[in-house]
Amino acid sequence: MTNDEKNQPTKEPHPRDITRRDFATILVGAGIAAGVSSTAAAEVGMEMVETDVEIKTPDGTCDAAFIYQKSHPKSNPAYPGVLIWPDAFGLRPSLRTIGRNIASEGYSVLVPNPFYRVSKAPFTDASKFNFQNPDDMAKLKPLMASVTAPGNAEKDAAAYVAFLDAQREVNKAKKIGTQGYCMGGALVVRTAAALPDRIGAGASFHGGGLVTDKPDSPHLLAPKIKARM
């Protein structure tokens, strides 16, 4: 092979290249891995409580999972609250597992169905979803629009935080943390900006739409945020 031939660009995929379908598969695998951690926590004697709850919001009733670690009589029964914003596949077993893992570290966790305006969870099987399939995307876009519409995330966040603060398992003297996945990353930013005196920490995992060229871009909310991000 000549030097010129060696320098020609290859058409083979780079080992780090990934399709969006592969990415969805990885998300499912992550859910399985999270389950291992949750099982390990159970084996060391942690007793987790997971309940399905309904939360009143200005736009209806949201179905959600509330998860916390059952306290022993001599311990403090209240833990700091955590709000988890799901990705576009919504509230499902893998998100519940993430909630249990966080709760096992000493938090009281709320995982809402962000698409409650459209329907109750669950909605679709992430392992079978194809981002290149127009029919699949047609199902997903109305769900996402229901929570990303102007003002909706802020109204929901206020209702979710109010729910957490009303639970005896939540230590209201501590600030609340929030984390979100994919589209949930932008919802974390909106939550922290809407409730700056209540949200103490926020995290976005592979967040989408964090910076846009529109006047309502989430990154423009940074001056309103007091939480550590």
Residue 114 has pLDDT above 80, yes or no: yes
**% of the chain exceeding 90 in pLDDT:** 61
On the 0-12 / 13-18 / 19+ scale of CB atoms within 10 A, 97 is buried
Residue 197 has pLDDT above 70, yes or no: yes
Range in 28-37, 103-112, 195-204 with the lowest mean pLDDT? 28-37
Distance CA 74, CA 200 (A): 27
Q: Does domain 10-224 have CATH number 3.40.50.1820?
A: yes
Neighbours of 167 (CB within 10 A): 17
- What are the structure tokens assigned to 183, written together? 């589209």
**Does residue 96 contact residue 67 with C-beta atoms inside 8 Å?**
yes
3-state SS string for the chain: CCHHHHCCCCCCCCCCCCCHHHHHHHHHHHHHHHHHHHHHHHHCCCCEEEEEEEEEECCEEEEEEEEEECCCCCCCCCECEEEEECCCCCCCHHHHHHHHHHHCCCCEEEEECCCCCCCCCCCCCHHHCCCCCHHHHHHHHHHHHHHHCCCHHHHHHHHHHHHHHCCCCECCCCCEEEEEECHHHHHHHHHHHHCCCCEEEEEEECCCCCCCCCCCCHHHHHHHCCCEC
pLDDT tens digits, one per residue of 33-81: 444 444 444 444 568 899 999 999 999 999 999 999 886 545 556 899 9
**% of the chain exceeding 70 in pLDDT:** 76
In this prediction, residues 212-227 reach a mean pLDDT of: 96
Mean pLDDT of the chain: 83
